[in-house]
């Protein structure tokens, strides 16, 4: 299982960093991680049971939490980003979509039912990490660790670290937990993990077109899905980043991390948090030039992936931006804009939601 080359770069750079949290991050060996994991086993089992119980209670007291989206035509994309143009006419068939991002409680129910192990929790294959000493190949994932001072925005390794032991149950590293976060979106899930959940739930991941159609919700084209203003009527419309990225998150919208789903207003279709909160995997492979040749009728993505920034790395589309996006940086909550990520990689601001056919 080859992880995102960013993660490889982070591991390698941490090896050669003499100070700070990066060194600490890779200093956790397999042995200590195993000991730590074993010590936490019973606590984990209890937590999973409790989360699964809450999930059952939630699903019993509501509908299945999906919204019907009537099919139709729309103009997809934006001229503001090279990989999101041209704006082109697309039609989609009707479909059901989760009204909110998949939560920790929902993912816990999946894991409890199937014993599924996410990619971030699996051993790393040394063949995928030439030059990295075996003791550093510890299961983990990418975690946002803000620098303490303002930094230039040209090197993401200043705020992304590979943290051994980070996983969906420990989103920010082994010391963190999802206890009390049952209704927050699950994170640290790769595309393959999200797909496995969707199949178990009798659903599927949305196509990129379905995701954008739901986000536009029949509204006229404006800069943001919610309108032309970043902060309509003085209120934040989605969980994004305020302050100075990446070191000073003022959390003016109430959340410096993910928010419980449905914390912000729903869109006209009754769907929550498409923009912001956590990035969402789509089923489509990512190509930067796909919109130039995309089919207009229910497009399902290209047959091959290509990201000129990382040729040869298979990526899938992500949409909506996250609690780490601001108008200063990332800004991919802007209507029609696109994101992408390596198929087996995860991080702590990336989740998903599902759709279902009629």
Residue numbers at the binding site for Ca ion (CB under 5 A):
239, 253, 255, 273, 277, 280, 320, 323
Q: Reduced to 3 states, what is the DSSP secondary structure of residue 154?
A: coil
Nearest-approach distance from CB 26 to Ca ion, in angstroms: 29
Of 174, 180, 169, 168, nearest to 54 by C-alpha is 180
- Reading the block at residue 208, the tokens are 């990129």
- Closer residue to Ca ion, CB minimum distance, 225 or 255: 255
β-bridge pairing 279-285 and 350-351: parallel
Taking the least distance from each CB to Ca ion, the nearer of 8 and 237 is 237
Least distance in angstroms from the C-beta of 36 to Ca ion: 30
Instruction: Give the whole-angstrom CA distance, residue 353 versus residue 279.
Output: 10
Give the residue with the Cβ less far from Ca ion, 129 or 272: 272
Output the smallest distance, CB 82 to Ca ion, in A: 23
Q: How far apart are CA 354 and CA 343, in angstroms?
A: 17
- Name every residue whose Cβ is closer than 8 Å to that of residue 215 and which is 6 or more positions away in sequence: 225, 267, 271, 274, 275, 319, 320, 335
Beta carbon nearer to Ca ion, 270 or 308: 270
Q: How far is CA 349 from the centre of its chain?
A: 5
In the complex, what is the shortest distance from the CB of residue 145 to Ca ion, in angstroms, rounded to a whole number? 17
- Shortest Å distance, C-beta 99 to Ca ion: 12
Question: Which CB atom, from 281 or from 323, has the smaller least distance to Ca ion?
Answer: 323
CB of 240 to Ca ion, least distance (A): 6
User: What are the structure tokens assigned to 283, written together?
Assistant: 């089923």
Distance, C-alpha 244 to centroid of its chain? 22
Nearest to Ca ion of 164, 321 (CB atom)? 321
300 token code pair: 């399902």
On the 0-12 / 13-18 / 19+ scale of CB atoms within 10 A, 273 is buried
């Amino acid at each position: 299982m080859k992880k995102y080359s960013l993660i490889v770069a982070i591991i390698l750079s941490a090896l050669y960093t003499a100070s700070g949290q990066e060194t600490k991050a890779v200093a956790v060996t397999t042995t200590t991680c195993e000991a730590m994991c074993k010590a936490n086993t019973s606590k984990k089992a209890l937590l999973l049971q409790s989360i699964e119980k809450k999930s059952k209670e939630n699903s019993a007291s509501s509908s299945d939490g999906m919204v019907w989206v009537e099919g139709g035509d729309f103009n997809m994309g934006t001229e503001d980003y090279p990989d999101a143009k041209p704006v082109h006419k697309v039609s989609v068939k009707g479909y059901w979509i989760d009204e909110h991002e998949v939560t920790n409680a929902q993912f816990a129910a999946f894991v409890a039912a199937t014993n599924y192990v996410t990619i971030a929790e699996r051993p790393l294959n040394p063949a995928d990490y030439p030059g990295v000493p075996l003791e550093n190949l510890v299961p983990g994932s990418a975690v946002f660790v803000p620098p303490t001072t303002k930094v230039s925005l040209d090197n993401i390794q200043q705020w992304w670290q590979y943290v051994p032991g980070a996983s969906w149950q420990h989103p920010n590293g082994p010391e963190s937990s999802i206890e009390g976060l049952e209704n927050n979106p699950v994170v640290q899930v790769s595309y393959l993990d999200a797909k496995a959940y969707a199949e178990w739930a009798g659903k599927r991941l949305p196509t990129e077109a379905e995701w954008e159609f739901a986000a536009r919700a029949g509204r006229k084209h404006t800069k943001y899905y919610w309108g032309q203003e970043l902060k309509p009527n003085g209120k934040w419309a989605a969980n994004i980043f305020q302050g100075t990225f990446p070191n000073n998150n003022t959390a003016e919208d109430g959340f410096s991390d993910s928010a419980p789903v449905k914390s912000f207003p729903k869109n006209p279709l009754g769907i929550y948090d498409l923009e912001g909160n956590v990035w969402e995997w789509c089923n489509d492979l990512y190509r930067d030039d796909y919109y130039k040749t995309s089919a207009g009728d229910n497009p399902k993505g290209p047959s091959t992936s290509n990201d000129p920034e990382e040729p040869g790395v298979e990526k899938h589309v992500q949409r909506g931006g996250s609690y780490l996006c601001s108008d200063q940086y990332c800004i991919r909550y802007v209507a029609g804009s696109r994101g992408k990520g390596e198929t087996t990689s995860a991080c702590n601001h990336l989740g998903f939601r599902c759709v279902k056919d009629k």
